[in-house]
Structure 1
């Protein structure tokens, strides 16, 4: 994948900077995106219209095989050992970086705002003009996905749906036990109490079978489900809402997907049943508003309208509310699970290639929570929803 970095070229020209400099490992999404190289330890990427890497000798062979870089250098090319003996580790590194920049005719650089302060101070001491940018120029470029990136997200979403099916299967197969040590109404699967932790493990194993992994997920039941970011713990119970929110990352491409479904094993109370219908309506309203030229705020407002018209609070109607619709409608997904654009009160104009979640929900500790989330890409004439997973509240 060769991203279009013309906006970065224009940004550097406007700043009068010779290049854009990143120092991080490839878990940093800006590093991964610009360099096209995957390494577990920090390395330098200089973009000056082309991509130039400065890596350790350990990574040199692999880096030279990467498609993106125009040049690859290693510390040994700049007499690293001699500099280390004369100046010590930190200053030796600073001097090598300064020489690396000078070799490419670069005297001034712009960096991401997360650029390490110590490295930045060291480069300034070597005469490099260095400025951190906070506009998120690379973030904005990354937000508009290429067709290849869109396919990466769609592939991760396919694996995600396999994992969601496994979670729903466990809940469906469970029976309601009234005489366990965990109390009445707990779910039991194959003789063991069905817990959030057990469902999470099954989700993780299913994702691994399909080339994906995750650091954490959400399987939250009852009052836990009333907190949108509570990961959930302990036994799952009958007649209470169970929010399952899975956001895996493809192990090869490093792109994320994201999806949420809400289940009830048994009979939901009237409030949860009403919330579910409203949330389906709110999600439909969001998708009706999702198109190029609309703003993320437009999409968010469409969701708030549905909930407020039904008498439920939102952060738009009451910024201090702790119940009702208490988060934004969605976010961008790509190399990060949360990135631009935003479907929120601050959401800007949407463009073809923006990949976003749509995830309305309602929450109250008295009743639990309900959230439904799909993932889609904005297209030239609307959107394409990647999500092909049914929405059924009651699990039989």
Structure 2
């Protein structure tokens, strides 16, 4: 995968390079360098080439795996002696300054979360360091290559296997005094999450958190859920795994009810599916994320339900944005929200309308789509049904 960094070249202006000092869990670091390491390493991008500065432990692997024109060891710049002389942070900054000088770099742009110690060390060594207010790499990452889209698609297939495992577990549960039971014990949010995680591991995926929220818990869009699941109440299952090999995420939400849902839950589900379809119909290149979000708000407001668009202080109804980009991070650009900009082919975004009220519970449906030249492709194959 070779991204198009021409917009980054333009962003540099009178700076010589774009500098990162982070480990491989930082998605911008992984994207710009093409390399993953558990400890921080330095990447300097210039229009002429990309240069890495790594520990001796990572030197061989970086040479083999990184998307870099040169790879240097810290030891080549007397790292240990400089740290001992100047202190860990200042010494590291001085070493990075020498590394930059070797590549003719005297001025750099850095992301907003760049380490302060390294920045101070660089400035103390005469390097001009300024923050990239535009977050140019995040903008570039928002437009996925064909290879990246296939990575997301693969993760979504694993996600759907995990969702099926959750649905099967909920569907097979017996009901005792209004509480779901499985193999003699009450079926809990934690037990369903465990089944989801095991299924994902078998597919080469992992996740830090997932949502299995029932009843009033589901009325908070980001409540993870806990305790026994109850019959007749909506159960929101939101899974957002990461493929362990490619590091690309997927995202999907479905709402289940074991037993008989209330009439309100049925109405909310049908209305939310209508809002989902309205949003999908609006997705195409050139349309703003704000316009897609408005399509969802129109459906809910026409039905007399509150939205944050109509009432910024609303605590029930549609109380979040419609979606977000998905890639190396589960939340990235572009935004499908009131401040969302124009969509481009290659954007991978969620469409996830929902309704929430502690007296009813929550209902959310989430699909993952890629913007194409003439509309969109839905990467989600899981059925939409209550």
Give TM class, smaller chain. over 0.9
Rounded to whole Å, the distance in 2 between the matches of 1:227 and 1:87 is 49
Hey, what does 1:46 align to over in structure 2? 44
Question: Structure 1 CA distance, aligned partners of 2:118 and 2:325?
Answer: 30
Please give the alpha-carbon distance, in whole angstroms, between the structure 2 residues aligned to 1:280 and 1:84: 58
Separation (CA, whole Å) in 2 of partners of 1:86 and 1:139: 37
The 5 A counterparts of 1:167-178 are 167-178=166-177
Residue-by-residue CA offset, 1:21-44 (whole Å, 9 max, x unaligned): 000001111101001001011110
Instruction: Provide Cα deviations, 1:267-317, integer angstroms capped at 9, x if missing partner.
Output: 111111100000000000000000001000110000000000000010001
Q: Give the superposition deviation at 1:84.
A: 3.8
Cα deviations by residue, 1:298-345 (Å, 9 ceiling, x for unpaired): 100000000000000100011100000000000000000000001110
Are 1:356 and 2:356 an aligned pair?
A: no
Determine the structure 1 residue equivalent to 2:5: 5
Cα distance in 1 for partners of 2:306, 2:378 equals 28
Once residues 68 and 187 of structure 1 are traced to their aligned partners in structure 2, the CA distance between those partners, rounded to angstroms, is 51
The answer to whether 1:66 aligns with 2:59 is: no
Q: For 1:82 and 1:371, how far apart are their aligned partners in 2? A: 57
Equivalence for 2:15: 17
Alignment match, 1:235: 228
3-state SS of 1:265 partner = coil
CA distance in 1 between partners of 2:198 and 2:128 (Å): 49
Q: How far apart, CA to CA, are the structure 1 residues paired with 2:253 and 2:214?
A: 13
Q: Deviations over 1:344-394 (max 9, x none)?
A: 10000000000000000000000001000000000000000010001221x
* Counterpart position of 1:318: 311
Q: Supply the RMSD in Å over aligned alpha carbons.
A: 0.9
Matched, 1:289 2:282: yes
Tell me how far apart the structure 2 counterparts of residues 310 and 77 of structure 1 sit (CA, whole Å).
67
CA distance in 2, matches of 1:92, 1:206: 46
CA positional deviation for 1:79: 2.2
Distance across 1 between alignment mates of 2:338 and 2:309:
8
CA deviations over 1:150-188 (Å, ceiling 9, x no partner): 00000000000000000000001001001xxxxxx0000
Structure 2: how far apart are the matches of 1:94 and 1:383?
45
Instruction: For 1:87-102, list aligned pairs within 5 A.
Output: 87-102=86-101
Note if contact 2:93-2:120 (Cα within 8 Å) is conserved in structure 1: no
Please give the alpha-carbon distance, in whole angstroms, between the structure 1 residues aligned to 2:84 and 2:188: 57
Q: Give 1:109 deviation, angstroms.
A: 0.3
Give the Cα separation in 1 of the matches to 2:335 and 2:81: 49
Match of 1:30 among 28, 31, 38: 28
Which residue in 2 is equivalent to 1:86?
85
Deviation, structure 1 residue 91: 3.1
Distance 2:174 2:269 in 1: 23
Q: CA deviation at 1:136?
A: 1.4
Does the C-alpha gap of structure 1 residues 391 and 341 become closer, same or farther in structure 2, counting only changes over 3 Å? same
What stretches of structure 1 of length at least 5 have no aligned partner?
179-184
Q: Residues 272, 7 of structure 1: CA spacing in aligned structure 2 closer, same or farther, 3 A cutoff?
A: same
Question: Could you tell me how far 1:201 is from its partner in structure 2?
Answer: 0.4
In 2, distance between residues paired with 1:374 and 1:349? 19
Match of 2:370 in 1: 377
TM-score (norm 2): 0.98
Count of equivalent residues: 385
Matched, 1:130 2:129: yes
Structure 1 distance, partners of 2:246, 2:46, is: 25
User: How far off its partner does 1:67 sit?
Assistant: 4.3
Kindly report structure 1 stretches of 4+ aligned residues shifted beyond 2 Å.
79-92
Offset, 1:85: 4.2
TM superposition shift of 1:215: 0.2
Q: Structure 2 CA distance, aligned partners of 1:234 and 1:271? A: 24
SS of the residue corresponding to residue 160 of structure 1 reads helix
In structure 2, the CA distance between the partners of 1:192 and 1:48, relative to structure 1 (3 Å rule), is same
Counterpart position of 2:255: 262
Q: TM-score, normalised by structure 1?
A: 0.96
Counterparts of 2:163 and 2:73, CA distance in 1: 45
- Aligned mates of 1:146, 1:241 — CA distance in 2: 37
